[in-house]
Structure 1
Amino acid sequence: MKKMILVILLSFFSSVVFAQVEGVEVEKPQEEKKEEDKKETKDDDDDEEEMRLIDRFYFGGNVGANFGTITFINVAPMVGFRITPRFSVGVGGTYQYWSDKRFTPTYKQSIYGGSLFSRYMIAEDFLGAGNLFAHAEYENLFAKQPFQDPNTGLITEKTKSFPSFFIGGGLAIPIGSRSAFTISALYNPFYDEFNSLYASPLQIRVGGFF
């Protein structure tokens, strides 16, 4: 009888110990951990590589025009490159044509320049209107300015540069799988009315990309 009780007790304790061992998570070997970390890193890289190189580029720009006594035409194409699905950088070009009939003869001038920009998508489908993005841009335009020679007194024209730095944001309203209509408001915190081609530090732009 005593032997039977002893066997039962030993069997009971063995079951308890075995159950406890089964419930303990055994630490994985270091090499196995490294392999899993590599796999996770590879999965993250694959997510980035899912966007093909050609899909990282997008093209677009802004356009604007005003006709009348003062005619103004603005064409500003740009090329962007998506570093991540949300963050992109790019370059742009600008051509502006001015014609002012208040002068005799009519004053005409072509303005040209370029820009570097970065853009970050803050939120998708913001308030149901479109994708909200932040935008920062450095622009440098070149235009002719009257210059009086101090020696001869003659007035000539010299080409001068007009740099600007804009920060702001806007909405990209999708009109296709890769295309969108954009409207943005940009502000130049370093605006100088005596050294700028813009009448205001705030600029509203309308354009798009594809």
Structure 2
Amino acid sequence: MISKKTILLLVLTITVPFFLGAQYVPEDNEESYQKKEEKENSFDWDNAYVGGGLGLNFGNITYINVNPIFGYWFSEKFTSGVGLNYQYFSDNIYNYSTSMYGGNVFSRYVVYDPIFLHGEIEVLNGEFGYNEGRSNFTSVFVGGGYMQRYGNSFIAATLLYNLNDDSRSPYTNPLFRINFGVNF
């Protein structure tokens, strides 16, 4: 069952981007003001990006993680987006394998370029214990990282802590990620 804290964080992650938009000071020319206001209130593909991450480990324990994301820069300092997640885990020693899949909602706020804060809620469906069957597991990640921008793309290194860490969690705290993004 999802806790009240998780629901509150999800609501904040989804609604905060709409309140952090850049403010506009009107000019003397009313026509110019209306055009700029229409542009600010419309979706701009120049602010959208795609990217993600990939994790691979082979041997007695095989781990494959594919995590595509779609995000949007609401301002120069604030971005938010959604992602998909697929994970495959195989342990040859215990003859066990499973696949997990799900999605996430995330937000990042650049505190001081290139340092950012990160919040994320992820729901995965999988087998989180031996012989327990499939179920959903919700992770609530908080943390921060370093983002290096290269023209219309970026690479980010993120250190996260799962607030919902328990024995069923597929993650070990802290979680380190490297991902990338490319603007349209």
Range into which the TM-score falls when normalised by the shorter chain: 0.7 to 0.9
Cα pair distance change 1:123/1:201, threshold 3 Å: same
Q: CA offset at residue 47 of structure 1?
A: 9.0
Contact 1:48–1:84 under 8 Å retained in 2: no
Are 1:195 and 2:183 matched, yes or no?
Answer: no
Whether 1:162 and 2:150 are equivalent positions in the alignment is no
Q: Aligned AA for 1:201?
A: N
How far residue 189 of structure 1 moved from its aligned partner, in angstroms, is 2.6
Please say if residues 129 and 168 of structure 2, whose CA atoms lie closer than 8 Å, have aligned partners that are also in contact: no
Moved more, 164-173 or 82-91: 82-91
Superposed displacement of residue 46, structure 1: 3.5
Query: Any gaps of 5 or more consecutive residues in structure 1?
Result: 1-36, 125-130, 148-155
1:145 is displaced (CA, Å) by 5.2
What whole-Å deviation, never above 9, does each CA across 1:28-82 have from its counterpart, x for those lacking one? xxxxxxxxx7427966x84994797111211111211111100101111110012
Q: Quote the Cα distance in structure 2 between the aligned partners of 1:191 and 1:157.
A: 18
- Structural RMSD (CA): 2.7
- Equivalent in the alignment of 1:87: 78
- Structure 2 counterparts to residues 135-150 of structure 1, below 5 A: 135-144=118-127
- Tell me if 1:177 matches 2:136: no
Taking structure 2 as the reference length, the TM-score comes to: 0.74
- Per-residue CA deviation, residues 112-144 of structure 1 (Å, 9 max, x unaligned), is 1100111111222xxxxxx21111000011112
Hey, which bits of structure 1, 4+ residues long, moved more than 3 A?
40-43, 45-52
**CA distance in 2 between partners of 1:99 and 1:48 (Å):** 52
- What is the CA–CA distance in structure 2 between the aligned matches of 1:69 and 1:48, rounded to whole Å? 57
| Equivalent position amino acid for 2:76 in 1 | P
> Which stretches in structure 2 are left out of the alignment for 5+ residues?
1-24
Q: Secondary structure at the match of 1:39?
A: coil
Secondary structure, counterpart of 1:55 in structure 2 = helix
Change (3 A) 1:48 1:170: farther
Aligned residues: 155
In structure 2, C-alpha distance between the alignment counterparts of 1:183 and 1:146, rounded to whole Å = 29
2: distance between equivalents of 1:73 and 1:87? Answer: 30
Say which one has the larger Rg: 1
**Could you tell me which of 81, 101, 110 is aligned with 1:112?**
101
